[in-house]
């Protein structure tokens, strides 16, 4: 018997940086490594700032950025990085986690929705953050590993711009699903870089959005909310 459409599950997709988080976990990871004495501040921060500006402008070269951002992972053991990340979570990330963001996630979970964080930031940085929000599923840009060590390279398609569409399609296909199987599909994001995926869901929501996304949301009568405390 064909399932009644009203009984279908919904899916809720969440961007992470400047959406669920009141800040950027990728950019701040670089600053954290500088403060820990693991990167040279003068050379790293200038490039970090430029890449972040390119991202906001919509002209980020994702592969050049990943070469820059993933290199420090290759210089330390996985055990050391995991311990370092615990400190990063407490000092930097938890102050960025707002009650409004957690309440939004909890509302979707209580409704039985399939909840997924989908972010361009690498999965080493973001997996513990998604877990802290109580979200099991993460689609992030995956750092390459060999013999238990990060290589500094990237594995597969980066979860960025159109790459987010590719990644969610592939992830759902592996589960025997597609986006159209869900009664409602939500995507919460702050960035115009996420427009390719936002245009595909039934319920796109701008969150503390940049000017480009704000204008597009207004033109298309998308809701615009704030998750800041």
Question: Which residue in 4, 17, 40, 181 is the catalytic one?
Answer: 17
Q: Are 104 and 188 in contact (CB under 8 A)?
A: yes
The residue among 34, 118, 128, 42 whose CA lies nearest residue 72 is 34
Give 95's contacts (C-beta < 8 A, 6+ positions apart): none
Helix boundaries (H) for 10-90? 25-35, 41-57, 62-70, 78-88
15 catalytically annotated: yes
Out of 15, 24, 26, 194, which one is annotated catalytic?
15
By CB neighbour count within 10 A (0-12 exposed, 13-18 middle, 19+ buried), where does 87 fall? exposed
Does the active-site annotation cover 17?
yes
The per-residue DSSP string of 118-174 comes to EEEEEHHHHHHHHHHTT--EEEEEEEEEETTEEEEEEESS-SSTHHHHHHHHHHHHH
Residue located via tokens 């590993």: 145
Catalytic residues: 15, 17
């Amino acid at each position: 018997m064909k399932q009644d459409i009203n009984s279908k599950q919904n899916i809720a997709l969440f961007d992470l940086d400047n959406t669920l988080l009141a800040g950027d976990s990728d950019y701040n990871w670089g600053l954290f490594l500088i403060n820990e004495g693991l990167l040279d501040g003068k050379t790293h921060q200038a490039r970090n700032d430029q890449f972040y500006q390119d991202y906001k402008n919509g002209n980020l070269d994702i592969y050049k950025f990943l070469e820059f951002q993933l290199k420090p992972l290759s210089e330390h053991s996985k055990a050391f990085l995991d311990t370092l990340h615990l400190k990063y979570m407490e000092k930097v990330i938890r102050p960025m986690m707002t009650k409004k963001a957690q309440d939004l996630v909890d509302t979707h979970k209580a409704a039985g929705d399939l909840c997924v964080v989908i972010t361009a930031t690498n999965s080493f940085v973001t997996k513990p953050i998604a877990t802290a929000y109580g979200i099991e599923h993460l689609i992030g840009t995956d750092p390459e590993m060999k013999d238990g060590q990060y290589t500094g390279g990237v594995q597969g398609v980066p979860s960025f711009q159109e790459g987010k569409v590719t990644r969610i399609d592939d992830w759902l296909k592996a589960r025997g699903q597609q986006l159209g199987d869900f009664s409602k599909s939500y995507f919460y994001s702050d960035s115009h870089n996420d427009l390719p995926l936002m245009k595909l869901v039934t319920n796109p929501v701008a969150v503390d959005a940049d000017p480009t996304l704000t204008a597009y949301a207004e033109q298309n009568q998308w809701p615009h909310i704030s998750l800041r405390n």
